[in-house]
Structure 1
Amino acid sequence: MKYHIGVLVQKSLIKIKGYHWKVEIHDLIEDTGKQIFLEKSPEMPGKRSRLWSCEDIVKVLENNQGTSTIEIIYLEFPYFRRERDEDPMTKDVEVKWDGTAFKEMKNLKTLIIKNGYFSTSPTHLPNSLRVLEWWRYPSKCFPNGFHPKKLTILKLPDYLHPTPELDSLSKGLVTLTVLNFNYSKILKEIPDVSSLQTLQELSFFGCKNLVTIHNSVGFLPKLKILNADNCKKLSRFPPAINLPSLETLGLSGCQSLENFPEILQEMKNVTMLFMEGTGIKDLPCSFRNLSGLSHLHMEKNKMCRMPSVLAMMPQLAHCQIKGGSNKEKVSGKQVKEELQVEGILTHFLCSSKLKILDLNNYELSDGFFPLAVAWFPKLTVLDLRGNNFTILPECIQEFRFLWNLNVDDCEHLREIRGSPPFLTKFSAMNCKSLSPMGTSLLLNQEPHQDRWIEFVMPGRIPRWFKQRSRGASISFWFRGNDFPGDALLVAILLTDDFHCNSIQVTPIVIINGKKFSFTYKTLIEQLFVFNLTSLTTTSLCFVNGWNHVVISYQAKQFSEGTYEFHDVQIESVAKEIGIHILKQKRSSIMQDIRFTDPDEMTELIMVMMIVSMVLPNHKKQPLLRETRIGLWALLFLSLTYA
C-alpha cells in the first residue's frame, strides 16, 4: 500500500499533507474515479465495490441488496440547520432496516457510518472488516459470530451506552491498532483492555461523563497515543503507567483529575505534553522519566507552585505555565524551600537546557528572578505577563542568551534596574505603575545587535535618536542597490492621551513614491521602537543616485463596544517619530544615508563654486570673503550632521 500511494504522489494525483497525513485529491480526479465505479453497475448499487452516495447506501441497506462485491461503504448524511435561532445540528435521518443487510457482504473491508439513526441494531457484521467506524452505534454489544481477525481500526464516536462490552470481541482482536470512543455523552467507564496488546491509539476525547479508566490502559506496550482531553468528570486515571511506546498524552480539560500518574520506567518518546484546565496540583518526581520531553504546556491548572521536578528534566527546552485557577501567591522563597526539601543542588539546576519559559498570571514576586537566573541560565525567551513583581533587578543581566522578554499586564512593576545584554524584543504593555523614568535605564542603552529589534513600553524617544520629527512621518535619502533596513531603528511616540494598549499600528515605508506596508500589525504602548529588517523591497529597482524614503504608520483603535479596530486620524495620536542609524552595520553607512535633500546640497555647492570663480580676489573684498567662508562652513556642518 505504501508503494502504491507513493506512486500516486509522484504522479501528482494525490497529495499527503499535515501531521495526520491528510490525503488531498483534485476534484476532477475524484469525479473521474467515482464515474468509473458508477458505470460498472448504473442501476444496481449493490453490485459496485465502493458506495458513497447516501441514497444508494440507504437503498442497499433497507432493501437487503448487499452482495460480496461491496468492499467499502462510506455513509455520511449531510448537515442541516433546523431553525434560524438554533445552532447547526444534524437532521435525524433514520434508516429503516431489519439489520440483516450486511450478511451477504462477505468482502466488506471498510464500513464508515456518520450521522443518522438506525431503526434496529445490526444482526450481522462481516468478519472481513479491517475498518469499522460507526457514530452512535445502536447496540451495547456486537452481533454473535462477529470475530474479525483482521480488524485494525475500531471507532465508535458518540457511543450510546455507559460501558462498552469488549470482552467477547477483544479476545480475537489480535491486529487492532486504533480504538476510539470520542464524544460519547453516556460512556462512564473504559473497561479492561489488557487483551489488546497491539493497540497503538486509544482515544475518548470529549466524553463528558467518563469517570473511570481501567488500570490496564497504563500497561499497553505498543500504545503511542492516549487521548483523554475534555473528560470533565474523569477522576480515576491509572495511578501508575508504563507505556514505553507512548508519544502523545492528552489530559487537557480533565477538571476532576487531581493526580498525575507515576511513571514507572523511562518513556523517552513523549516530546510534547499539553495539560490545560486540569485539577492536577503537582507533578511527581517520577515525571522526570519522561526523558525526551522538550515542550511542556500547563495552563489554568490548580498548581500553586512551580513543580520542582521541572529542573530535573534533561531535554526540557520550552515550558509554559499559565495560572488562572490558583489563588495562592507563589514566591521565590516558597519554591526555594521546597527545592531544598527535595535535595536539589544548585549546580545540578544550572545544567538545565530550558530555553523558553512562560509563567503567565502565576503571581510571581521579586524573589523569582535570582532563582530563575540560577536555575535556567540558558533561557532565550521569558514570558512573565500578569505577575506581581515590582522591579526587574540587576541580576537579569546574567541572562546571557535572553533576547525576548515580556512583562505585559504586570501592574505592580515600577522600575527596570537591569537588562540582558542581548535583549532585542521587550514588551511592557499595560504596566500601570511603570513610569517613563522607570524605563530610562533600558532606553539609555544604545543597541548594538544585528537582530530584529522591537521594544514596546512607556517612555520617551531616547536621546541617541538624533533625527526626529514632530508628527507621524519622517524622511531620509539613501543610495545603493540595497535598502538599509537592518541599519535603521525607528521610534514612534504617541501623545500622552493614547499611551494604552488599545492602539494598533502598521508601519508604512514609501520609497520613491511607492508604498510598502509591513506584513504585521502590533499593539503598542506610549513608545514603540523597531527596525526595518522585515521590510521586503525586492520588487523595486532603486535609482543610481539618491532614493527618497518616507516612514509613517497607520493607526487603529480598539472599541470595547464592537470588539473591533477602527481607523483613527493619525494626527490625534502621533506626537513624534525618530530614526537612528546603527553605525556598526558597515563603515560606509553614514555616507550612504542623508537626512537633508542631496539635490539641494548640490545646488548650494554649485553656487559657491561660481562665486569663487567670479570673485577670485576675495582678499580685496572682506565682505565677500566672510560670506564665502560662511557658506563653506554651512556646507561642512550640513554634511557633518546629516
Structure 2
Amino acid sequence: MNDIRMIGVFGVGGIGKTTITKAIYNLNAYQFEDSCFLANVRETSKRECGLVQLQEKLLYDILGDSSLKVDNVDRGINIIKERLCCKRILLVLDDVDQLAQLEALSGESGWFGLGSRIIITTRDKHLLTKHKVDLTYKVKQMDHNEALQLFSWHAFKKDKPIDGFVQLSEHALRCARGLPLALVVLGSNLYGRSFHEWKSALDKCKRLPNKNIHNILRVSYDDLDDNEKDIFLDIACFFKGEDADYVVKILDSCGFFPDIGIRVLSDKSLVTIEENNRLVMHDLIQEMGREIVRQESPKEPGRHSRLWFHEDVRYVLEENTGTNKIEGILVELPERDLIHLSSKAFTKMKRLRFFINPNACFSEGPNYLSNELRLLDWPEYPLQALPSNFHGKKLSVFRVSNSLFKELKEVFENFQNMKIMELSDCKFLTKIPDISRIPSLEKLTLSSCESLVEVHDSVGYLNKLTHLSFSKCSNLTTLPRSLKLRSLEWLDIRDCLSLQNFPEIECEMHFLSSISLAYTAIKELPSSIGYITGLEDLCLDGCKSLLNLPSSILQLQNLRSLSFKDRFLLKVRNKRQSIPSFVSTEGSEILSGVKLLSLQTPKNSSVSNDDCSSTVFPALQFFNLGKCVLSESNLFKLFNCSSTLQDLDFSRTDIVSLPPSIKRFIGLNRLILQDCKQLQEIVELPPNIKEVDASGCMSLEIFPEASKKFQFNACNLKALEWIDLCGCHKMLVNIGNHVADPLLGKGQFKDLLGGIILPGNRIPDWFSHRKETSNINSCEMDINGLLYMDEVVGIVLCAIIGPNILIGRERPLHSIGVKINDNEVQERVVDLMGSDHVWLEYVVLESFKPKEDNMQVKFYRYLDELVFFKSCGVHLVHKHEENVKDHDPALLHENVDVHLDVPSEEIENS
C-alpha cells in the first residue's frame, strides 16, 4: 500500500455517493497517519475565498495547527505540497464540480506521502478523467431487494414491509426509481401513517409529470403544515449549515414553533442535525425548496417570498422592484462588490423578516425598514442611524459590525425582544446607554470599538445574558459597577488597556466558565469573585497593575486553566482569620500547590511547609506564569501533590532553580522554561514528565536526568520523550561531548526512547553510518547489506542542523522531521537560535524494519528555507553487538569531528 491513489466516486445526485464515501472514511481513517473529510466542496468554493477556506481546513485537520493561514489559493497549494508530501493520509473531497477545486486541493498524487488515498465524489465523470484519477467507481441504483430494505427501515423501522403494506411498498419503490435519497424521504414521510394515507400519497406520486426527483421529494413537503413549510423554506434559502440553536432563536421570534417543527422535518429526513449541532440539508432537497419559491413567480423575482440568487437580489435592490411578498433576502455575491441601492428599495417590503448580507457594500442606506424584521445582519451598515420609522420591536438578531453608529439610544429603547447584538468594530460608538428595556438579551459583543468609553450599569443586570465581550475596546474606562448575571457563561475584556476596575459580583454565577482580563489596567479583583463557582478558565496575562488577589479566589474549585503570563508577582490579600491551612511559616510570598497565588502570612504560623493536603484548585490542568518575576519569593515552598496539572509554563521568568517539590506533580506532562536566562539547574522533575522545553536557557548547566538519559545511565524518567536544549550552550559540558554508545548503558533501550536537541556540530563517533551533506533541505541515507535484523532492538538517529542567518528577521521556529522507509518517525518544532545543533532521536524499529537487507532514512524540513542539514547519522542497536556486523563495507564512514560554532568565551559570558 505504498503507492498513492486517487479514487473517483460518481453518480447522479441523491444516489448515495456521500453516504458510501463517509462509511469508507469512518471504517478506514484509523489506518492512516491523519485524515480529512472535506464536505460540500462545490457549495463552499462558491463563497468568497471559499477555496482558501477549504485549503485551511485541510491543513488544520491534518497538521492541527490553527495558526496556519493561507493568503491565496496559490500559496495554499505550495503549503499543501510542502507540508503533506511526507504524510500518509486519507483525504475525501466530497461533491466536486470544477477542475479548479481539484487543482487547489489535490493537484497531483505527489502532493501526499506514499500510501495516501484521495477519494473524490462528483456528479461529473468527465471531471475525473480530466484530473487523471487512477480508479473510478460508478454508484449504481439499488437492486430491488436493497431498495426495499432501505425503504422499509425508514417506513416501518424494520428490514421488510409489515403485513398489508407489501404492495404499497412496491409502488413506493417504483416512484423512487431506486434513488436512495428518494427512498429515505418517502419512507420517512409515510412512517406511522394509515393504509389510506399511504395510498393517497402514492397515488399523488404516480400522477407527477415525468416523475421528476424534485416532485417526488415534494410529496414530503406538501404533507407539511403551513408552519413547517415556512421553517423548511427558510432553512433551504437562508440557514443551511447554520448552528441549530441560532436558527431556533430566529424562527421562534417569527412564531413558527421551531423546536417541534425542525423535529418534524428531521423525522421526514428533510433536514439533519449533525454532531456539531449544524443544520444540514441534502443539495437536492435544498434545490427542491428553492424551486418551490422560484415557481411563486418565475419571471418576477420581486414577487418571490425569499431572495437568495445574487442576480435576482441585485436586480430587485437596484431597480426597486421589491413587493410586499418578500419575507427574506440573502445578499451573497460571488465576490465582494458594490450594490447601488435605491434608498426606497425596502419601502414596499412590509413583510420582510430577514436581511442577511455576508459580503456586499452598499452605495447608500435605506430610508425604510420593515417592522417585521427579526434578523438584521448588515456589516458596514452605511448610515449613522436606523430609519426613524423603524421601531424594531420584533427584532431578535442585530448584527451591524464595522458600521458608522455613534448613538444607539433608540436601539436600546425599542428592541425589546432582542437576543443577539453584535456591534464589533463600530469605531465611532462612544457609550452603551441604558439597556434595561432589553431583558431577553443573551449575547452582547462590542469588540474593537475603539471609541467606546462607558458602559451603563444596566448591562450588569441582564439575567439571560450568556456571552459578554468588550475585547480590544482600548479606551473603555468604565464597566457596570456590579454584575448580577445569573446566566453568564463567557466574559471577555482582554486588551481593554484603559480599564482599571472590575465590577463587584452580586450573586453566585454557576454557569460562568471563562473570563479573560488579559492586558487590562485592572488594579484589583473584588472579593466577590469567589461567587463564580463554575469558573474553569481565568486569563490575567499582562495585568501588570494587578498587585493583589483576594483570598476568595481560592474558592474556585473548578478552575482548569490559569494564566498570568507577562506580568509581575502577585500577593493574595488575607485576613488573619481566613488564612488557608497550607500557609508558609516564613511569611513571604509563596505559590501554593499548582496555584498561581501568593499569600502574605503571619510569621507565627505553625503549618508545615511539607503540607500537601490542600485542595485549592483541584481541577487545574494548565498553568502559565510566563514573564512573571519569581526570584524574590518562595513561590515553590508548598507545591500541592496535584495529579491534575498537565502543563506548567515558566517561560521568560527569572527563575534560577526548579525546587525539589516539583516532583510531587505526578500528572505533569509538559514543562515549558523557554528563555529563562537565569535558570542554572533542573535537579528534580515529576515522574511522568514527557516534555521539557528549556530552549534559550543560556545559563543552564545542571540537568542530571537529561545527562543520564543520553549517556545511557539509569534515568529515572521513563516517560520523558523530548528535551529541547536549543541555545543551552553550557549543557554541552554535561551532555553534548559525552553522548555514549547505548550498548555501554546500564538501562534497557526501551527506557531511552525519545529525543533531544542541543547546541553542537558533531555526530558521536560510535555511529556506524554517517554522511555529510552540502547544506541542503534534507539528508538521505541508503543503508544496504543489513544483517541479523531480527537482533535489532532499536535505532538511533542523529542530524546536525544549521540555521540560515537572516539579518533583520525575528528568530524563527523550524519544523523538522525524519522518516524510515517512507514511514514518518518523528516531527519536531525547534528554535536553533543562530547556531548549529545536534538532534538525536531514539526509536524502536518494529514497523520500520526492512523486509529486505536495505533501509532508507531521510531527515527533512517543512516549508522552511531558514534551516539546513549539514550531516546525519544512523546506528542500529542489537541485542548482542559482539555477534553482529551491521556495517556496510561500501558505505563511507566520515569521521565528523567539527569544533563548536560558539566560542568558549561566549559561553562563559552568557
> TM-score when scaled to structure 1?
0.72
The counterpart of 2:367, out of the listed 122, 136, 139, is 122
The counterpart of 1:351, out of the listed 603, 610, 616, is 616
Match of 1:444 in 2: 708
The counterpart of 1:454, out of the listed 687, 699, 722, is 722
Corresponding letter in the other structure for 2:859: Q
1:327-476 matches, cutoff 5 A: 333-334=588-589, 339-340=599-600, 349-353=614-618, 354-365=620-631, 367=633, 369-371=635-637, 373-374=639-640, 378-435=644-701, 438-444=702-708, 446-447=714-715, 451=719, 453-457=721-725, 458=731, 459-460=735-736, 463=740, 465-466=742-743, 468-469=766-767, 471=770
Match of 2:378 in 1: 134
The counterpart of 2:865, out of the listed 565, 570, 577, is 565
The counterpart of 1:596, out of the listed 884, 895, 909, is 884
For residue 431 of structure 1, report the CA deviation from its aligned partner.
1.2
Match of 1:227 in 2: 469
Alignment of 1:165 with 2:165, yes or no, is no
Q: Contact conserved, 2:795 with 2:874, CA < 8 A, in 1?
A: no
1:268-347 matches, cutoff 5 A: 268-303=510-545, 307=549, 309=551, 310-323=553-566, 326=567, 333-334=588-589, 339-340=599-600
1:50-61 matches, cutoff 5 A: 50-61=306-317
Match of 1:584 in 2: none
Q: Contact conserved, 2:705 with 2:716, CA < 8 A, in 1?
A: no
State the distance in 2 between where 1:289 and 1:258 align. 21
Alignment of 1:183 with 2:443, yes or no, is no
- 1:233 and 1:11, CA in 2 relative to 1: closer, same or farther beyond 3 A? farther
- 1:18 and 1:293, CA in 2 relative to 1: closer, same or farther beyond 3 A? farther
Q: Contact conserved, 1:205 with 1:231, CA < 8 A, in 2?
A: yes
Which protein has the bigger helix share? 2
3-state SS in 1 of match to 2:517: strand
Alignment of 1:152 with 2:429, yes or no, is no
Corresponding letter in the other structure for 1:47: R
Corresponding letter in the other structure for 1:48: H
State the distance in 2 between where 1:191 and 1:351 align. 40
State the distance in 2 between where 1:489 and 1:394 align. 34
For residue 68 of structure 1, report the CA deviation from its aligned partner.
3.1
3-state SS in 2 of match to 1:161: coil
- 1:76 and 1:255, CA in 2 relative to 1: closer, same or farther beyond 3 A? farther
State the distance in 2 between where 1:181 and 1:71 align. 24
Alignment of 1:68 with 2:320, yes or no, is no
- 1:287 and 1:37, CA in 2 relative to 1: closer, same or farther beyond 3 A? same
Q: Deviations over 1:74-97 (max 9, x none)?
A: 2245655xxxxxxxxxx5543133
Q: Contact conserved, 2:695 with 2:831, CA < 8 A, in 1?
A: yes
For residue 180 of structure 1, report the CA deviation from its aligned partner.
1.9
For residue 196 of structure 1, report the CA deviation from its aligned partner.
1.0
The counterpart of 1:46, out of the listed 284, 302, 305, is 302
For residue 502 of structure 1, report the CA deviation from its aligned partner.
6.5
Corresponding letter in the other structure for 2:672: N
Alignment of 1:198 with 2:440, yes or no, is yes
Match of 1:554 in 2: 859
Q: Contact conserved, 1:454 with 1:529, CA < 8 A, in 2?
A: no
State the distance in 2 between where 1:299 and 1:489 align. 43
3-state SS in 1 of match to 2:377: strand
Which protein has the bigger strand share? 1
The counterpart of 1:517, out of the listed 798, 821, 824, is 824
Q: Deviations over 1:361-414 (max 9, x none)?
A: 223227455246149675332111111112223332233332321212111112
- 1:351 and 1:204, CA in 2 relative to 1: closer, same or farther beyond 3 A? closer
- 1:212 and 1:489, CA in 2 relative to 1: closer, same or farther beyond 3 A? farther
- Higher mean C-alpha displacement, 272-281 vs 138-147: 138-147
3-state SS in 2 of match to 1:395: helix
Match of 1:254 in 2: 496
3-state SS in 1 of match to 2:661: helix
3-state SS in 2 of match to 1:416: coil
State the distance in 2 between where 1:272 and 1:530 align. 39
Corresponding letter in the other structure for 1:116: C
Corresponding letter in the other structure for 1:94: H
Match of 2:818 in 1: 507
- Higher mean C-alpha displacement, 217-226 vs 62-71: 62-71
For residue 454 of structure 1, report the CA deviation from its aligned partner.
1.6
Q: Contact conserved, 1:13 with 1:29, CA < 8 A, in 2?
A: yes
Q: Contact conserved, 2:639 with 2:662, CA < 8 A, in 1?
A: yes
Q: Contact conserved, 2:693 with 2:724, CA < 8 A, in 1?
A: yes
For residue 242 of structure 1, report the CA deviation from its aligned partner.
1.0
3-state SS in 1 of match to 2:479: coil
Q: Deviations over 1:211-243 (max 9, x none)?
A: 111110011001011121221111111121011
* Greater Rg by CA: 1
Q: Deviations over 1:490-534 (max 9, x none)?
A: 574758999x99665312223xxxx2123633216756565548x
For residue 247 of structure 1, report the CA deviation from its aligned partner.
0.8
- 1:597 and 1:295, CA in 2 relative to 1: closer, same or farther beyond 3 A? farther
Match of 1:209 in 2: 451
Q: Deviations over 1:337-364 (max 9, x none)?
A: 9622699987785533223211112232
State the distance in 2 between where 1:476 and 1:275 align. 62
Tell me the C-alpha RMSD between the 2 structures. Answer: 4.4
The counterpart of 1:95, out of the listed 341, 344, 352, is 341
- 1:414 and 1:367, CA in 2 relative to 1: closer, same or farther beyond 3 A? same
Alignment of 1:244 with 2:486, yes or no, is yes
State the distance in 1 between where 2:465 and 2:555 align. 26
State the distance in 2 between where 1:341 and 1:301 align. 23
For residue 194 of structure 1, report the CA deviation from its aligned partner.
0.6
- 1:174 and 1:55, CA in 2 relative to 1: closer, same or farther beyond 3 A? same
Q: Deviations over 1:470-498 (max 9, x none)?
A: 64789896659xxx9xx868574758999
3-state SS in 2 of match to 1:518: strand
3-state SS in 1 of match to 2:486: coil
3-state SS in 2 of match to 1:392: coil
For residue 333 of structure 1, report the CA deviation from its aligned partner.
4.2
Q: Deviations over 1:239-261 (max 9, x none)?
A: 21011101111112211112222
Q: Contact conserved, 1:464 with 1:580, CA < 8 A, in 2?
A: no
Q: Contact conserved, 2:478 with 2:501, CA < 8 A, in 1?
A: no
Corresponding letter in the other structure for 1:188: T
For residue 553 of structure 1, report the CA deviation from its aligned partner.
5.2
State the distance in 2 between where 1:196 and 1:497 align. 59
- Higher mean C-alpha displacement, 40-49 vs 236-245: 40-49
1:603-614 matches, cutoff 5 A: none
Corresponding letter in the other structure for 1:320: S
Gaps of 5+ in 1: 81-90, 559-563, 582-589, 601-642
State the distance in 2 between where 1:216 and 1:110 align. 29
